[in-house]
Amino acid sequence: MDKINIGLIGFGTVGVGVVRALKEKAAQLEKKAGVRLILKVICDKEFRRKRNIKVDKKLLTRDVNKILGNPDIHIVVELMGGIHPAKEFILRAIKSGQHIVTANKALLAQEGEEIFKSAQRQGVDIFFEASVGGGIPIIKSLREGLISNEIDTVLGIVNGTSNYILSAMESEDISFYDALSEAKKKGYAEKNPSLDIEGIDSAHKLAILTLLGFGFPVELGDIYIEGISNISQNDIRYAQEFGYVIKLLAIAKRVDNELEVRVHPTLLSKEHLLSSIRGVYNAIYVHGDMVGGTLFYGRGAGQNPAASSVVSDLIDLARNLKYNSIGRTPIFIRDKSIKKIRKMDEVETRYYIRFSCIDKPGVLAKISGILGKHKISIASVAQKERRKARIVPVVMMTHEAKEKNMQRALEEIDRLSAIRRKSIAIRVER
Ligand SMILES: NC(=O)c1ccc[n+]([C@@H]2O[C@H](COP(=O)([O-])OP(=O)(O)OC[C@H]3O[C@@H](n4cnc5c(N)ncnc54)[C@H](OP(=O)(O)O)[C@@H]3O)[C@@H](O)[C@H]2O)c1
């Protein structure tokens, strides 16, 4: 085999980056892959939009059938995004023996099981490096570089938009909404940013990381998801005073024979490796039994970083084709020692809590009494300066407590007449 033919579906942001690299770096890529990578067809819904790249018009089509099932196309690159019809396109390609490269995290998180099984049955390769962490080679690291390890922890800052907002709130001392509008102006947040700020995008990526890192398939519904839209400037400031920063973390942890999978704002000590990840950057911390802690860092999105991963996948796949080693790297190996997903109620963490209460004697005693009743012990307390209408923020750090105890305690505390707003609890990561 001396050439591999590629069909691309989705000539958008990432698609253009991939086409540019295949065009401009053709000779280098050929040396690295050991075969020529030939882009045969580019399919999109329309070609009127300006794309800042010159391509031979003969390559362009609106007809996806020029790619799917075409025996002349060895690899289908899916960069159109969304669930339907991307899923149907990929399944059709797999059925006809075509190999797949995709960046579609939402699709793999939701429909990965069916797609991966189908690829395995048909004996085709599917590569998806750009689906998590943009240009960071975390997928390959979990599938290959760390395969000798039993992974016990994966912590990821995997959503650049949220990380940008939290970093801006901290460094510029601005509100969530000001930071969001700044992110929109700079092109770091979509017009409708809910997938990013509500933690859904991070959960998509966590589902993929968990499958690869722990050999355990999780559905989106298994993941506890909480976004950053309730984080206030005050919480960022108070966390800082306690020596912490707030990050939106995607967390997967092996605890005994169960797995915790959760996405939520998290207090991280300023000494933690992930606490210094700022702006739109992504980072994933992986801890394995042999290697210990490792950190993967880089650009989590953008045309070139994502295209870097897609083109690297193409080279990997081309090498497998050339050396007849398709299926060499299993997508994941089921770990039977993990029995189930731990219910969020049973998760134990330390907490930062902020109460907004009337400044009168006895309130603190009442709060600590309720916490104590629910087996929550306080590590430190800070009562902040009085604000309007005699309301003072009281901020606490607790020792480890069970989530269900914390939720019950907060419900009871929030019913006290001295409590004026819903109390805020943010989990702390060691
Ligand atoms: N952008 C990033 O930084 C990044 C990073 C990592 C992963 N990803 C993933 O990469 C994928 C592509 O993202 P992107 O940012 O490049 O998206 P994009 O700019 O919206 O590009 C997608 C392209 O596919 C086209 N398309 C949609 N449906 C199609 C169909 N049925 N047939 C043919 N073409 C179709 C779109 O056309 P219309 O515009 O006309 O709909 C658009 O030109 C997504 O899965 C995304 O999650 C993106």
**pLDDT tens digits, one per residue of 298-315:** 999 999 999 999 999 999
Q: Do residues 315 and 384 share a domain?
A: no
Nearest ligand 1 atom, CA 16: 16
Answer yes or no: is pLDDT of 136 > 80: yes
Classify residue 269: in a domain, yes or no. Answer: yes
Residues 157 and 104 in one domain: no
Residues 291 and 242 in one domain: yes
Is residue 15 in contact with ligand 1, taking CB distance under 6 Å?
yes
In a domain, 151, yes or no: yes
161 shares its domain with 294: yes
301 CB less than 6 Å from ligand 1?
A: yes
Amino acid in the structure at residue 184: K
H/E stretch holding 212 reads: helix 200-214
What pLDDT score does 90 carry? 98
Please compute Rg for the chain using Cα positions. 24
The count of C-alpha atoms lying within 13 angstroms of the C-alpha of 345, restricted to the half-sphere facing its C-beta, is: 3
On the question of pLDDT at 385 being above 90, the answer is no
Domains contained in the chain, number: 3
Asked if residue 399 is part of any domain, the answer here is yes
Looking at residue 165, its pLDDT comes to 98
Identify the CATH number of the domain in which residue 352 sits: 3.30.70.260
Task: Check whether residue 294 and residue 313 sit in a common domain.
Answer: no
| 339 domain-assigned | no
Ligand 1 geometric centre to CA of 189 (Å): 16
Q: How far, rounded to the nearest angstrom, does the alpha carbon of residue 332 sit from its chain's CA centroid?
A: 18
SS3 category, 89: helix
Which atom belonging to ligand 1 lies closest to the Cα atom of 86?
A: 31
My answer on whether 210 and 260 are in the same domain is yes
Q: Is the pLDDT of residue 386 over 70?
A: no
- Could you tell me if 299 and 163 are in contact, meaning their C-beta atoms sit under 8 angstroms apart? no
Give the Å distance between the CA of 16 and the centre of ligand 1. 10
| Distance from the Cα of residue 43 to its chain's centroid | 28
Judge whether 333 lies within some domain.
no
Q: Decide: 306 in ligand 1 pocket, CB within 6 A.
A: yes
My answer on whether 121 and 189 are in the same domain is no
Tell me what pLDDT residue 391 has. Answer: 87
Q: Give 156 Cα–ligand 1 centroid separation in angstroms.
A: 24
- Quick check: 348 pLDDT over 90? yes
Provide the pLDDT confidence category of residue 230 given band limits of 50, 70 and 90.
very high
| pLDDT at site 169 | 98
Catalogue the E-assigned strands of 53-203: 60-61, 75-78, 99-102, 126-127, 151-157
Q: Give residue 389's pLDDT band: very low, low, confident or very high (50, 70, 90).
A: low
Does 294 share its domain with 175?
Answer: yes
> Are 153 and 211 members of one domain?
yes
Domain containing residue 368: 344-429
CA of 90 from ligand 1 middle (Å) equals 14
For the chain, first and last CA: distance in Å?
Answer: 51
Do residues 11 and 42 touch, judged by C-beta distance below 8 A? yes
Distance 10 CA to ligand 1 centre (A): 5
Average predicted confidence (pLDDT) for the chain: 96
For ligand 1, whether the C-beta of 256 sits within 6 Å is no
Q: Please check whether residues 156 and 292 belong to one and the same domain.
A: yes
Cβ of residue 234 lying under 6 Å from some atom of ligand 1:
no
**16-20 long-range CB contacts below 8 Å, 24 or more apart?**
16/51, 16/52, 16/53, 16/303, 17/303, 17/304, 17/306, 17/307, 17/310, 18/77, 18/79, 18/307, 18/310, 18/311, 19/53, 19/55, 20/53, 20/307
Residues 52 and 122 in one domain: yes
CATH of the domain at 210: 3.30.360.10
- Looking at the domain assignment, is residue 423 inside a domain? yes
Within a domain: 87: yes
pLDDT of residue 163: 98
Same domain, residue pair 159 and 260: yes
- Arithmetic mean of pLDDT, 86-107: 98
Q: For residue 302, which amino acid is it?
A: G
Nearest atom in ligand 1 to 104's CA: 45
Q: How confident is the model at residue 360 (pLDDT cuts 50, 70, 90)?
A: confident
Q: Is the CB of 18 under 6 A from ligand 1?
A: no
Predicted TM-score (pTM) of this structure:
0.97
- The answer to whether position 415 is within a domain reads yes
